[in-house]
Amino acid sequence: MPAPLEIFATGAIDLFLAVTGTADPVINAAPPGAWVKVGVAGAQDYGEDGVRITKGTTNNEVFALGSYGVRKVFRDRETLKIALTLMDATLEALRDAFNQTAVTTIAGPPAEKTIPLLESQANPTFRALLARMSNSPYMDGGGFQFWIPLVYQTGTVELVFRKNEPVGIALEFTAIADAVSGFGKIHAQTA
């Protein structure tokens, strides 16, 4: 390791969605066809505020009458969230915000595409999520990825329209703990 590779800049990070049960892809090969990029151009369609991956925990700290310090800790909850601003206003991108609803094409004239705004009583649609970048803390040009077997879009859908600025869609995916794989895995290529 000639340079301190543990200090690295990720550059672009692409998010992909696939149906639940899609396998964890090999880190040094392009994701198979089942994985579809979030945004037509992937990271080139994400806001400069980046992709934020947040792992949270809630703990129950136990204190005793005869001590001022914490005596025991029980983990109550764990959360994992992936958030970004998507600058892709196609209905195929908006589908990711609106519960993976179907895009309907109308031949016209005029030709158009539609998606419903009301999700009604439909249960959230779960997907597998892959966050992938082309840099590793172990080797130049190595891969680094998060594979999460179950997520759903939980963020408040907010479309921001401003003069001379791209339309931004705030997306937040929340992980559901899979019975076998939990929240999934982080992979970092070493060779």
Output the CA–CA distances (angstroms, integers) from residue 114 to 90, 122, 152, in the order listed.
Answer: 10, 18, 21
Check residue 128 and give its pLDDT.
96
The CATH fold of domain 13-60+67-188: Pnp Oxidase; Chain A (2.30.110)
User: pLDDT tens, 11-42?
Assistant: 689 999 999 989 999 998 899 889 999 998 99
User: pLDDT tens, 136-175?
Assistant: 888 888 889 999 999 999 878 888 888 888 888 889 999 9
User: pLDDT tens, 53-110?
Assistant: 999 999 999 999 998 999 999 999 999 999 999 999 899 888 888 888 889 899 989 9
pLDDT beyond 70 at 4: no
- Placement of tokens 């136990």 in the chain: 62
Backbone phi, psi, residue 4, to 5°: -70, 85
Output the CA–CA distances (angstroms, integers) from residue 63 to 9, 57, 69, 76, in the order listed.
Answer: 41, 19, 7, 16
- Which of these, 81, 86, 60, lies nearest to 72 by C-alpha position? 60
